[in-house]
Structure 1
């Protein structure tokens, strides 16, 4: 039945034939756009004129009188230009081309220096593609390993572990470790000169090390028993990461173990050594080359050298075994475990304030942060060591007698003595857990949930409460991908399993097989035996029954986020549109971790074909 319209209680004639209000609203909107479009298309000048076209045709001109030109009022719209970014009718633009190795699974990214822009889609023109900082150029660091020497099985296994520890530790500090051998030395043009000299085996090996380094060129050269034992931002490590070495440098007190220099300086030192008349009677490369060839640096507190003299002096349990021929291999086999424990202990001393597992909504997100808590437990506990109370040879330390404190703050704190492990969920996952709801629809999202609850909660202390999502995204991205953030934090996403290569992020081995994966719905089997020793656990952990429900809900949410069914995709896209800042944070964190894993994977694939490049 038609609706009778009224005005102050009086019936409006003909109102029964009027269309519904929604149609009137649409028609008025169309009319408004039509008028607006007409106004912006008015030409800047009116071409018509009542003045005769030429002076000869004007009788007034012949009589000496001037007829004034008519003045028309023209609206000043000719200078108005609608910004192209807001123009719905603007021409389409090509998206930036995808670079090599910029995808991994469902993650894709664009390396660009504009990575701190709040929303990646404004640069990539692709809603599913994140903008990440370009990969840092890792300066090469070289070591020499002679595969031709005969070794017993125990010593060979220990050396391979030491090479792995050396590679992993230097990779975590921002370098690109490369293991060299005689094949690289033989590629050096000066190798033929070496063949003409009759040198003892030890000196020939020493010169071969330099020849292999000279073949590769500019970089750092170390013994594989030299490890970086210091914070990421240590002055020496920061200088070496720049990749510029104006002078050939050796480091006082480290003997023949560490050098840095440019290609021309390395070649010059090699030529002087091979041309020296005292080469045959010398015991080492440094004895032949003039002392003025090197600049000596005495500041190397971040470098630990486990040479036989240091081992015999500071680690007598191992040194005594290595001193005896029948137990030498057994003592050498203990060295990898000792070095790994020192790397772990250095991490704990650097972050003496403890480990913070970020948990913005503490009531229903225990299953969400459970893997992060497991990683934190492994980082906080005392590492296994043949000499538990020992310290690295380069610095004094606080031996690990009890585990670091683990906290679960609701907000991210920018503290240099605290290591942060953050879990960034997809908005769908976060809503499902915090609202304890398995089936989510569009109406529920719009009516029952707030926008961007995760990032608003996580960054509550960094910015004022009334600040929107864009400034918070900038701060969040800095916390993840800046030079400071890379060293002080680890960011995960619950929709993926924990990567097995987290040891390469920290620089030392973690028993990753004991870490709970997010897909588990059981209790915590296989938890580390030292879990109970943590000083501060999650105080908001629910009862076992509720925790199992959270795990099951998390498992379902992971499946929903990965689903390709049309209905589920519509709901997922609606959740993402309602939570733009949370979606950008999740996409950025996921792509950044994928980029790190991709970089490591490609490097390992390249190095695997060379001797000593095996992975764990």
Structure 2
């Protein structure tokens, strides 16, 4: 009698199930252990290889920390990893990048910064920002030891150097002040000591030696400052950092040169061999005519040389002529240059300043800091020569207090190159509190009573129409904030952190963004402002630009209280160490308003990174300020 297979009593489907069950139990019993001494492992065909594969798969599964046994494992995440048909996924970016955090604000730099949502790139809470553009170095030479030692002159020279650094930094460069120490590092310095040169020629050679010891870049006189819009052709060329030939600029005397390290060394070699070295004044006089490419266009740079001051600013020149009044003349120079920088900025925006105000009837108080900044920027800066123009722009429109820049508060964002924009982005919790005049929001109210992404939809209604989603609008707003075109024509703030107006340090940060020292006026405190005589008279606040009733004092006070409580809630709900109930509420609000949250995070991170970048550079430069035998200049004004 033939023996029958026990499984033959089962139908075909149950046979398959029974076979698979038997195989799985066998695998668990004999292959589940990772011990190398398993006696059954060596008997199984390809047993060690199967064990290694099993170990790798298990090792890829997320583990639960012992101290957090309550953590829920994302089952879908590890099941996707085991799916043989799943397409390979890129690993998330590294957790940290150098200088990618300021307090509780963190960001990640990536070329995919225009992606609507940062979480797609980072897979965490960081905002994705565009890569920082390299700042080409611009060098100037200042020999404090060889100049007048009276206190007023020294202070005025330091102020001019601070203006020089601030103006070049705001235009996208990395300004560096060199001294005799850099010149002494060059091998040819010892030849200079044996030559009997005129003071001007010796200074010229020393600044070139200092430049050669640093390398490729721009050599600029400390009285030559960029005075044009950010996208002016000369400044655009200099920012590119590619200098194919040694170039000087006709009309700037020796105020500006560009070239590579090799080209600078060749010019020095020719100059030291020249027979005219004891009588010449500028380096280009010691070289053949074809050594330098002469560029006639230099409208982007203003050079306050002795010749320029004598020709255009006679009241200052009369003070500089005599030793007794030289300090008085130098004291007038910083105010003149700063006023010209401010005036050039004002002339770049003939349509004035627009303070963005979507949902205008509910956000009047929220944009008050932006209004204060706009009023400061539209104020005429005090100048020793009130109606004067910069040397590179003789046909400017002088700032007159009777006709200040126009300030408007449009309810929608317009991409207008002739108008400077100041935008204030609120956190969605703050915005919904103001819209609904409600102090305590909850998840039920957010889901049932509020519209999604109210700020983004309102701000871009005219630019993009009403037919596209809020997600599709994010790229346009990010471009307005962080593109090269956007940063030169706009300033973006967050409603919960009204920076730049609280302390003198905040105002100094604003100076570094714009490239000049803006007039100082305090924030509103409920008191009437004292009239300021002269050119610094502050313009009045802008008129209401929207249809509807203007908020009264009681409504403004209510908006202020709601804004402060929303700010307190956001602060207490920080991801690490915040109150759990507030964190859950904040997460719900942000999940319901993903586009509004994305813009808020982006602006917040962009401002934080800008601050970190400047502070890092200043910290590097601080190591060279006011130190050494030759008395380097000392920084006295920067924050």
Task: Tell me, yes or no, whether TM beats 0.5.
Answer: yes
Looking at structure 1, the residues matched to 111 and 537 of structure 2 have their Cα atoms a distance apart, in angstroms, of: 42
Looking at structure 2, the residues matched to 261 and 525 of structure 1 have their Cα atoms a distance apart, in angstroms, of: 55
Indicate whether 1:384 and 2:382 are aligned. yes
Change (3 A) 1:509 1:299: same
Looking at structure 2, the residues matched to 524 and 95 of structure 1 have their Cα atoms a distance apart, in angstroms, of: 53
Residue from 505, 516, 532 that aligns with 1:508: 516
Residue from 579, 582, 587 that aligns with 2:596: 582
Residue from 120, 126, 130 that aligns with 1:129: 126
Indicate whether 1:559 and 2:568 are aligned. yes
Residue from 506, 523, 526 that aligns with 2:526: 523
Range 302-311 or range 472-481, more displaced:
302-311
Indicate whether 1:536 and 2:550 are aligned. no
Range 374-383 or range 146-155, more displaced:
146-155
Match of 1:398 in 2: 397
Match of 2:483 in 1: 482
Query: What value does the CA root-mean-square deviation take over the aligned residues?
Result: 2.1
Residue from 322, 338, 341 that aligns with 2:339: 341
Match of 2:436 in 1: 435
Question: Matched residue pairs, number?
Answer: 528
Asked whether the 8 Å contact 2:433–2:566 carries over to 1, the reply is: yes
Change (3 A) 1:515 1:434: farther
Alpha-carbon displacement from aligned partner over 1:530-584 (angstroms, at most 9, x marks no partner): 6763483345752223222222221111111110211111111110000000000
TM-score, normalising length: structure 2: 0.80
Asked whether the 8 Å contact 1:377–1:531 carries over to 2, the reply is: no
Query: Which structure 2 residues correspond to residues 39-438 of structure 1 after superposition, within 5 A?
Result: 89-91=79-81, 94-97=91-94, 98-126=96-124, 128-149=125-146, 150-395=148-393, 396-401=395-400, 402-438=403-439
Deviation at 1:292, TM superposition (A): 1.6
TM-score, normalising length: structure 1: 0.82
Looking at structure 2, the residues matched to 527 and 568 of structure 1 have their Cα atoms a distance apart, in angstroms, of: 43
Asked whether the 8 Å contact 2:381–2:519 carries over to 1, the reply is: no
Higher-Rg structure is 1
Match of 1:453 in 2: 454
Asked whether the 8 Å contact 2:342–2:518 carries over to 1, the reply is: no
Looking at structure 2, the residues matched to 462 and 416 of structure 1 have their Cα atoms a distance apart, in angstroms, of: 14
Deviation at 1:203, TM superposition (A): 1.5
Looking at structure 2, the residues matched to 476 and 531 of structure 1 have their Cα atoms a distance apart, in angstroms, of: 34
Query: Which structure 2 residues correspond to residues 19-58 of structure 1 after superposition, within 5 A?
Result: none
Alpha-carbon displacement from aligned partner over 1:133-184 (angstroms, at most 9, x marks no partner): 0101000001011121242100101011000100111111111100000000
Change (3 A) 1:206 1:318: same
For residue 90 of structure 1, give the secondary structure of its aligned residue in structure 2.
Answer: helix
Asked whether the 8 Å contact 1:375–1:515 carries over to 2, the reply is: no
Deviation at 1:526, TM superposition (A): 6.4
Match of 2:465 in 1: 464
Looking at structure 1, the residues matched to 248 and 326 of structure 2 have their Cα atoms a distance apart, in angstroms, of: 30
Deviation at 1:432, TM superposition (A): 1.2
Match of 1:24 in 2: none
